[in-house]
Structure 1
Amino acid sequence: MEYFIDVAYGTLIKHKEELPGDMVNVIRMDKCTIIVMADGLGSGVKANILATLTSKIAGTMLKEGADIYETVDTIANTLPVCKVRNIAYSTFTLIKIYDNGEAYIAEYHNPPIFMMSKGEAVHIDKKHLNINERKITESNIKLQEEDILTVVSDGVIHAGLGDILNLGWQWKDVQNYLKKKSKEKLSSQSFTKDLLGVCWDLYDKKPGDDATVVTIKLRRPSYINIFIGPPKNKDEDSYAMKNFMKCTGKKIICGGTTANIAERELNRELKVNLDFLDKDIPPTAEMEGIDLITEGVLTLTKVLEKIKKYIGPFSLDYETVNFHGKDGVSTLGRVLIEECTHLNLWVGRAVNPAHQDPNFPSDFSIKLKLIDELCKVMEELGKKVTVTYL
């Protein structure tokens, strides 16, 4: 079986620095995904450049078919060892994982990778290599469904050092925490966000080092289909709705007019939920065979705003964002963040006069702008997005 490689990552930037000294490069190919996490020496601009060079060189070479020996040799010759401190200018972790769960891992001076399976920590056997005087460890493993790999930079292991914790958050402590969280069946994005949140608290909102977390989870593909807006040609209503209902996965309708089309063409009753769970969010509705029905433009706008805040970087005015509510915005956001691996958008091109500035052509309608933005955000989250215009 071919699985979906759910990858998410995030970084806490060292206090008073503007650029991270850690860099993550994710390359999705036809049958595999390459992930590189590099940690540049020091912090700030210099570390950012070193980490960027390392992650880009490694990612590009692995994508083009180079093996670990060629890749490490190139990196070693490009970024030599610091003569003053006798340590590498950039450490790194390389992972190449195939859709069937087979994975290759190479690690160079980063904290050892964590692996969780069925709520338990898994020991990874490693082989030691010496490449161009660099000591590399490599592993070949086979992941099962819902298994989780977590890569961290040393800023995670050092969280709380000297303040809250005398010796920092030790590797074993992080492993025990991840073991507990893995039982909650979170998405990679939520798993990453949670671990970064703990580091944020341990650093008392002033990270003493760049702290990066990369979470990789093997998942079954989960298809989410969203029908937004009526087709441009009303004669296509029946054809579009019937094809939409044939789709695999969850079915969601956004927009009152679209819901009315579904009621008419499917000959099913549309029931509006009269409970206003949030006065600023329009109510949802229900219909047999449809998993969620929400209002259109306003709800989508709020969903986008909430997702952007959720995946945004930590800052001193960091606001906790969750999707635990039962309102339309929280429900749709939760589906997109937690469940979705493949997003199929069915977009009707009929123009709603209420959403259209007469001074602009139809391509600039609010609805289409929202769709473009939603696609970009979901692709940034690693989801596979397809759009069908009607």
Structure 2
Amino acid sequence: MALVLETGYTSINKKGEELCGDNVEMVVTPDGHTTLVLADGMGSGVKANILSTLTSKILCTMVSNDIDIYECVETIIQSLPVCKERGLAYSTFSVIHVDKTGKGYLIEFDNPEAIYMHGGKCVELGREKLEVLDKTVYKSDLSLEENDILMIMSDGTIHAGIGMLLNFGWQRDEIKEFLDTHVRPGMSARCAAWLLVDACNDFYVGEPGDDTTVAAVRVREEEKINIMVGPPLDKSRDDFYVARFMKDCDKKIVCGGTSSQIVARYLGKEVSTSLEFIDKEIPPIGYIDGIDLTTEGVITLRKLCELSDKYLSVSDLSPKEFTSAKDGAGMLAQLLFEEATSVTFFVGQSVNVAHQGLPIDTTMKLKLVETLSKNLIKMGKTVTVNYD
């Protein structure tokens, strides 16, 4: 099965600051190379934000165009505006540049050393010391394997808890021990980044003393998921519609009562429904042999869209994994947000007679699918929508 590269990051601001002094930029080129840059501007607030934004955007553009790293660093040093108070122009940075199979390099300047997870455990990367205009920069060659995770971070991570719960901050070895214990197999890059920042926020007791950002890349197997939402306009095409839905995927999801009946009839199976209301706002799930998840339609999809907005927010610290979810929306989120790399929607546009007299119509369903599709694309998924 093909390998793909996924990315994600989480960032929280220093207490009392509206703008973050860290910035993350990413570019994916047509040939499949990903460039991810995390920059940390000197200080905090507006000035730091300007420095980190300029640094990350310039580096991301230059590195993604294969410009020599010496020239990239020289450009940054000569381009940043000088602070009138300190007389300095300074921003740290970490740069990951890899192809979709994980081969490439890592460049680091004054950020905490990146953490590399291989085989579920943190291991050390080899580092080459480079001197550029009297600045020390480190380069590591990368050859990431399946399920490897590489994390880059700002110094808010190692400063977590200083003067609060920890005397000397959160040391690198302690961070590695935490990740060894808490990063589970199959966890996405976005979820791994959230996990570390959330722990830092706990050490800060919810009042960060510094901007704290973690960005991660992960190499993983491709996973294709098909999701059927609603019956087709032409009832005579039910079997054709379901036959397409059942092909070329790793997992299958059916949303909606009528859709469930159509799929069950095609498969020669029965639909059974759970009577357990895990969440009073979300209808129970159903079961069909041969289908990975069966849920109610519009109400569950509306809740899923809310979860997708939170999942995408880089500053939202609500959980980014849903492995323990038992309700339809949470289980959908786990499959679509955490596990899928590509999602194909099969959207039926028939009017559901069960919705007559209710504030639910086909237009609402289509809008929910459109919103969800856009958010999945923002998550880095490949999305296809088929209407019937």
Judge same fold: TM > 0.5, yes or no: yes
Deviation at 1:183, TM superposition (A): 4.6
Match of 1:24 in 2: 24
Unaligned stretches of 5+ residues in structure 1: none
Partner AA of 2:96 in structure 1: I
2:150 maps to 149
Q: Which residue of 2 aligns with 1:226?
A: 227
Aligned to 2:269: 268
Q: Assess if the C-alpha contact under 8 Å between 2:64 and 2:97 holds in 1.
A: no
Match of 1:378 in 2: 376
Q: Which runs of 5+ in 2 are unaligned?
A: none
- Counterpart CA distance in 1 for 2:45 and 2:81 is 19
Instruction: Write the letter of the residue equivalent to 1:330.
Output: G
More displaced stretch, 20-29 vs 73-82: 73-82
Change (3 A) 1:193 1:292: same
Letter in 2 for 1:143: L
Q: Which amino acid aligns with 1:389?
A: Y
Contact 2:190/2:320, CA 8 A, preserved across alignment? no
Deviation track 1:18-66 (CA, whole Å, cap 9, x = no partner) reads 1111111122234221111111111111211211111111112222232
Matched positions, count: 386
Distance in 2 separating the partners of 1:86 and 1:167: 29
Partner secondary structure for residue 383 of structure 2: strand
Question: CA shift at 1:353, angstroms?
Answer: 6.9
Query: Residues 346-367 of structure 1: CA distance to partner in whole angstroms, max 9, x if unpaired?
Result: 2222344777999xxx9x8111
What SS does the corresponding residue of 2:180 show, helix, strand or coil? helix
Query: Structure 1 residues 100, 93: CA separation in 2 closer, same or farther (over 3 Å shift)?
Result: same
* Paired residues for 1:297-376 under 5 Å: 297-312=298-313, 314=315, 323=322, 324-352=324-352, 365-376=363-374
Quote how far apart the aligned CAs of 1:190 are.
2.0
Q: Deviations over 1:197-249 (max 9, x none)?
A: 11111111111110001121111111111111122333332222101111221
1:326 positional shift: 1.4
Relative to structure 1, the CA distance from residue 246 to residue 339 in structure 2 (aligned partners, 3 Å threshold; closer, same or farther) is same
Give the structure 2 partner of residue 12 of structure 1.
12
Q: Say if 1:376 and 1:294 are closer, same or farther in 2 by CA, change over 3 A.
A: same
Aligned to 2:204: 203
Q: Where does 1:1-390 land on structure 2 (aligned, <5 Å)?
A: 2-29=2-29, 30-79=31-80, 88-312=89-313, 314=315, 323=322, 324-352=324-352, 365-390=363-388
Aligned letter for 2:276?
Answer: D
Q: Is the 8 A contact 2:27 2:34 kept in 1?
A: yes
CA distance in 2, matches of 1:258, 1:299: 14
Q: Which amino acid aligns with 2:378?
A: E
Percent sequence identity over aligned pairs: 42
TM-score by length of 1: 0.91
Contact map agreement 2:194 2:320 (CA 8 A) in 1: no
1:357–1:365: 8 Å Cα contact kept in structure 2? no
- Indicate conservation of the 8 Å contact 1:41/1:89, yes or no: yes
CA contact (8 A) 2:312 2:375 kept: no
